[in-house]
Amino acid sequence: MYNQSLDKGPLKDDGRDQDEDRRIEFEHNVLAGYTVEPKDWMPEGYRKTLIRQMSQHAHSEVIGMLPEGDWILRAPTLKRKAILLAKVQDEGGHGLYLYSATETLGVSRDLLYEDLLHGRAKYSSIFNYPTLSWADVGVIGWLVDGAAIMNQIPLTQCSYGPYARAMVRICKEESFHQRQGFELLNEMMNGSEKQKEMVQNSVNRWWWPTVMMFGPEDKDSVHSKESRTWGIKRVTNDELRQNFIDVTVPQAEILGVDLPDPDIRWNEERGHYDFGEVDWTEFWRVVSGHGPCNRDRIEAKRKAWEEGVWVREAIMAHALNEKVVDRHG
Amino acid sequence: MGNDSSNKEVEIPLYEVFIRSANGLEHRHVGSLHAADAEMAIMNARDVYVRRNEGVSIWVVPSACITASDPSSKEMLFGPSRDKIYRHPTFYNLPEGVRNI
């Protein structure tokens, strides 16, 4: 669900691409709407950019299981627990679709995952914030998944076939995530004063981190231009952010919560909502590893990986044994 | 795994997954996943690719068993069908008034 543009600069070809003609033809084809498939020739920079973006996206999905996973055992009803379990399972599934699509570029999942476990890979900054109350589960569905959908719909048109196809599947499932979140919050907003307060408090904490999910402003995101030429990214960070705010403000009104930005107001001339300045210092702090939960998230994944060694070894040994038994009949 | 390989894990093999969405339709490639053997690949495919009635039948094939054509031999493999236009019904001119042909 969570693709985020985290990049400070473009990944340039390191001069190994001798074939300028092929490259020009490639860019021409991509602009003409041609879909690139795994075995097609592609510029090295295109491949690297995709590997980085798709693996970051995959990592974000599996890290994204953690904040919500914290609430599975504390879900208030059986219904909500079943929904949350299904949702967290979906996130794991989304991670797998994306790792699988990334592997078509000739990298192994284990290597990508190793980068994550050793803090060499990035993932969406939003998951470095803690889930402090049950309302956070609803707010993640409504706001965080809502922002993710906004990000992901244009990616279904991405020039790389396996990525685009994975995104189609993800977007279909994502819609359930957002709706269950909104419904959960709506139920709480029709409940006691304490429940309403809990929702408002949660919105106050998650609003700005969500707005940051679209990545740095266009003027600071050199990467966007190259991604556009290659048809990887078709809509800019600022456009996505604006679209998200435009659709979310009326939803907040229906829900009856205040968005913690006093500068939000309708701008008749622009046909959009104006909004306040994002605290980019906080964004870069969290992205670079100093958010409230960065260390916990990686620690949790590392623990799961290490404690799973014996399982992975056992299934491989079992598979090998079966083969031997088959052979000897 | 033996003791000698304890610090370097073997990567669990990759399988390609094909799903038949309904009887009457062909299996279609949906993606890949890692599994120790075919049986586990089917189980994993169930969890990953058919959580919402996406299919009624699953095929899994070790990725290493698939041989794909090379895009650079496109001309050789797919070229001829373009220059043999007489293989297409639209190549033939029929007199006006001919029906059911």
Q: Rg for chain B (alpha carbons), in Å?
A: 23
Q: Which of B63, B35, B29, B53 is nearest to A162 (CA)?
A: B29
Q: How confident is the prediction along chain A (329 residues), in pLDDT tens digits per residue?
A: 444 544 434 444 555 445 788 888 899 999 898 999 998 999 999 999 999 999 999 999 999 999 999 999 999 999 999 999 999 999 999 999 999 999 999 999 999 999 999 999 999 999 999 999 999 999 999 999 999 999 999 999 999 999 999 999 999 899 899 999 999 999 999 999 999 999 999 999 999 999 999 999 988 876 667 788 888 888 999 999 999 999 999 999 999 999 999 999 999 999 999 999 999 999 999 988 899 999 999 999 999 999 999 999 999 999 988 888 777 75
> In angstroms, rounded to a whole number, what is the distance separating the alpha carbons of residues A258 and A197?
11
Phi, psi for residue B62 in degrees, rounded to 5:
-60, 130
* Residue-level pLDDT at A197: 98
* Residue-level pLDDT at A162: 96
* Residue-level pLDDT at A223: 67
* Residue-level pLDDT at A8: 39
B66 touches chain A (CB under 8 A): no
> In angstroms, rounded to a whole number, what is the distance separating the alpha carbons of residues A183 and A189?
10
* Residue-level pLDDT at A1: 44
Size of interface A-B (CB pairs under 8 A): 54
Answer with the residue of higher pLDDT: B28 or A23. Answer: B28
Contacting residues of A for B1, CB less than 8 Å apart: 313, 316-317
Pairwise CB contact (< 8 Å): A100 & B31: yes
Structural domains in chain B plus CATH codes? 12-91 (3.10.20.520)
> In angstroms, rounded to a whole number, what is the distance separating the alpha carbons of residues B42 and B49?
10
> In angstroms, rounded to a whole number, what is the distance separating the alpha carbons of residues B15 and B64?
8
> In angstroms, rounded to a whole number, what is the distance separating the alpha carbons of residues A282 and A129?
12
Give, for B42, the enclosing helix (H) or strand (E): helix B38-49
Contacting residues of A for B70, CB less than 8 Å apart: 39
Query: Looking at the predicted structure, is the pLDDT value of residue B13 above 70?
Result: yes
Name the pairing type of β-strands A265-267 and B57-62.
unpaired
Q: Tell me how close the Cα of A308 comes to any Cα of chain B, in angstroms.
A: 12
What's the pTM value of the predicted model, to 2 decimals? 0.88
- For residue A165, the chain B residue with the least C-alpha distance is B30
* Residue-level pLDDT at A14: 52
Q: How many CB atoms lie within 10 A of CB A10?
A: 14
Quick one: pLDDT band at residue B29, thresholds 50, 70, 90? very high
* Residue-level pLDDT at A305: 96
Q: Running DSSP on this structure, what letter comes out for residue A157?
A: G
- For residue A172, the chain B residue with the least C-alpha distance is B52
Q: How many CB atoms lie within 10 A of CB A170?
A: 27
Q: Are A244 and A146 in contact (CB under 8 A)?
A: yes
User: How many residues appear in chain B?
Assistant: 101
